[in-house]
Amino acid sequence: MMDMHCHVDLYPDHGVILKDIIDTGFYVLSVTTVPSAFEGTRNLTRDIKNCRTALGLHPQLAHQRKNELALFDKLIGETRYIGEIGLDGSKGFKEHIDDQLLVFNHILKKCESYNNNILTIHSLNAVDMVLECLNEHPKAGIPILHWFLATKKQISKAIDLGCYFSIGPAMLISARARKVISWLPNERILLETDGPFAKVDRNILFPSNVQSVIEYLSIDWGKSREEVLAKLSNNLRNLVSN
């Protein structure tokens, strides 16, 4: 199984998260929030074959760390995984949307120089802008919209753009998020935790916690747990084999 959006370097105890990744054997995408964290984060999981490190610049940090775009450009050739990137239109961050757009579009344009990138994207309160940017950079790679909260129309546009959607245990707490999950096509769904930021019952999420999403999808889809696992595994294979 998988966790396609996990901030491994930001867990309070690296030993615990690394043990969880090793014990589960799950395919884990370790995302970063600034380019300067990439090398250290990659070194954390260097000996774990089922873990990949993504190169990112989080939209909430764009106005503070846009000077790291030069470092992003230097490192991009070292991984096909890009994230966490995107836009955030929520309170406290929408005032910096111009810097966010500068950073996001720079990254997408840079990705167009490569042909196999996989992008994990933040779109909180900025869905239309994120989709427009992706539309303007169609060769940037395969987008995974992480913790995606959107309308049916926005989901339809995202599907047309070739997007996947990663969903996690913390989303199941929200009625709105559960409704969005019900609208997503089965063949585009992946799993995530967004740990250590996302929590359930005040407990930090680990890759092993995606089991709760599998159980939820089994009920939502009317499929056996084995059928859900097979579909999700096939989705991951389709993603990484492109």
Q: Is the pTM of this model over 0.85?
A: yes
Question: What are the respective helix, strand and coil percentages of the chain, to the nearest 5?
Answer: 55, 15, 30
* Tokens 């579909």, residue located: 231
The CATH number of the domain where 49 resides is what? 3.20.20.140
Are 197 and 233 in contact by the 8 Å Cβ rule? The answer is no
Average pLDDT, the chain: 97
The pLDDT score that the predictor gives to residue 115 is: 83
Q: Indicate the pLDDT class of residue 105, thresholds 50, 70 and 90.
A: very high
- pLDDT tens column, 31-74: 999 999 999 999 999 999 999 999 999 999 999 999 999 999 99
Report whether pLDDT(242) > 90: no
Residue 65 in contact with residue 34, Cβ under 8 Å? yes
For the chain, how many structural domains are there in total? Answer: 1
Q: Which domain holds residue 200?
A: 2-241
Is the separation of the CB atoms in 193 and 210 below 8 Å? yes
Give 206's pLDDT tier (boundaries 50, 70, 90): very high
Task: Kindly report, residue by residue over 70-88, the tens digit of the pLDDT.
Answer: 999 999 999 999 999 999 9
Tens digits of per-residue pLDDT, 109-130? 999 999 899 999 999 999 999 9
What are the tens digits of pLDDT across the range 152-204?
999 999 999 999 999 999 999 999 999 999 999 999 999 999 999 999 999 99
